Structure 1
């Protein structure tokens, strides 16, 4: 029987030459939820993500996925378990078509990406699934276009499609709306909410409007440690959180 908690960290920490970038982080992500990791600049959010996907080795603590200790596993092992980090594993190839980008990701999920001797038409069997994924993110009309021709928000949607192609059980999205205009932010927010159905999402996000509209639970980091956790209403009305944001480069909730 699957546990209600899909991801859990116990005392997770990372130090660089004596500086504690992340310290004693205890995180629980509920299965089927959208969980946001927020905090002022320099709070340790990206370092946390790098620890969870083992792009960095923890100095202390444990990482549990579906109740199994994955602390010592390599990034590829963790990805095979279904923990997929968007915008790293799902790189967009600018001069491949939109469809071909998703097909490459589907090949990775099947473990056939190095079968160079196979004829190209053998890849056509993946096209139906690739088109389904493009339809899911609203890009089916762009299937034959080169990825380089897409608008910025559409490229982010394509990156989400390639992440979905890896069949993630847990999607980690690092700043999915960064650098976007208002319309793209709304479109990608709606997209994340839609593709999260039946999946679990852990996201780092600066845009509080995005977080308030789709996150079920929020963990606030400050100086590498957990400052608060709860619903958007709970964390946004917490005096410690308000002080942390207001004192950080004029940011606000």
Structure 2
């Protein structure tokens, strides 16, 4: 493995009772890059994410992080090494304030999660860093707003701030702009670009406009396998990519993957 790769997979395979959801996938994620994983519904993108973060165990193959084989490492240990994931659905606490959400994330990172029984005053030392993180995603003025009251785009920005609280070396972003209007999409693109400085990002994203603006390199999956890889210009010009995006049968494959994963 080249020293420039933060994350590498070798012949990664995931089978569900005979159904091959991920088929011999090789990824090389370069230090400092924003790398996109794209493909039609059911292509295996989220399954790859689940394998990387050990929500699923590979059937075969290897996963390496900074040259270390983490194929058998548990998800909590992977997070402590600096591989931190956000999800398609906002994963913040809806009835806490934005500030409280960040403070909880910082507690988890510092290993003081079992301090919930202590008074809130005992956690005030975390407030300064929490406010810095809120400022970094444009949410300082919403620090004392209950999360459920935030607009959807701001909730996703808060989730990004909680991810940054874990001081990730590699950020895995799962559909960061899903369900957003154009204004929120543009805002989140800028937030991701800002958050990526000094870090490496691997993202699943359906919005190809977002991919074209953000990503240094793109891997296209189809039917669980790598179809092609390159920069946006070369990938978008590939007729095979246009075919898989405009072809039929994706919804059926997506259903097969969902059913297979649910049975595990």
Asked whether the equivalents of residues 90 and 160 of structure 1 are also in contact (C-alpha less than 8 Å), the reply is no
Q: Secondary structure at the match of 1:158?
A: helix
Give the aligned CA root-mean-square deviation in angstroms.
1.7
Equivalences for residues 206-221 of structure 1 within 5 A: 206-221=206-221
Matched, 1:145 2:137: no
Q: Secondary structure at the match of 2:73?
A: coil
Asked whether the equivalents of residues 90 and 163 of structure 1 are also in contact (C-alpha less than 8 Å), the reply is no
Asked whether the equivalents of residues 90 and 155 of structure 2 are also in contact (C-alpha less than 8 Å), the reply is no
Asked whether the equivalents of residues 90 and 105 of structure 1 are also in contact (C-alpha less than 8 Å), the reply is no
Aligned residue pairs total 249
Q: Secondary structure at the match of 2:114?
A: coil
Counterpart for residue 102 of structure 2: 102
Q: Secondary structure at the match of 1:226?
A: strand
Q: Report the CA distance shift for 1:184/1:62 in structure 2 as closer, same or farther (over 3 A).
A: same
Counterpart for residue 163 of structure 1: 163
Counterpart for residue 21 of structure 2: 21
Counterpart for residue 51 of structure 1: 51
Deviation of residue 71 (structure 1)? 0.1
Deviation of residue 243 (structure 1)? 1.4
Question: Whole-Å Cα distance in 1 between the matches of residues 13 and 144 of structure 2?
Answer: 45
Runs (4 or more) in structure 1 with deviation over 2 Å come to: 87-91, 115-120
Moved more, 172-181 or 236-245: 236-245
Counterpart for residue 231 of structure 2: 231
Q: Secondary structure at the match of 1:177?
A: coil
Question: Whole-Å Cα distance in 2 between the matches of residues 200 and 215 of structure 1?
Answer: 11
Asked whether the equivalents of residues 64 and 71 of structure 2 are also in contact (C-alpha less than 8 Å), the reply is yes
Asked whether the equivalents of residues 45 and 204 of structure 1 are also in contact (C-alpha less than 8 Å), the reply is yes
1:14-43, Cα deviation, whole Å (9 max, x unpaired): 000101000000000001110000001110
Q: Secondary structure at the match of 1:114?
A: helix
Structure-2-length-normalised TM-score: 0.91
Any unmatched runs of 5+ in structure 1?
Answer: none
Counterpart for residue 184 of structure 2: 184
Structure-1-length-normalised TM-score: 0.95
Deviation of residue 8 (structure 1)? 0.1
Q: Report the CA distance shift for 1:88/1:112 in structure 2 as closer, same or farther (over 3 A).
A: farther
Any unmatched runs of 5+ in structure 2?
Answer: 251-264
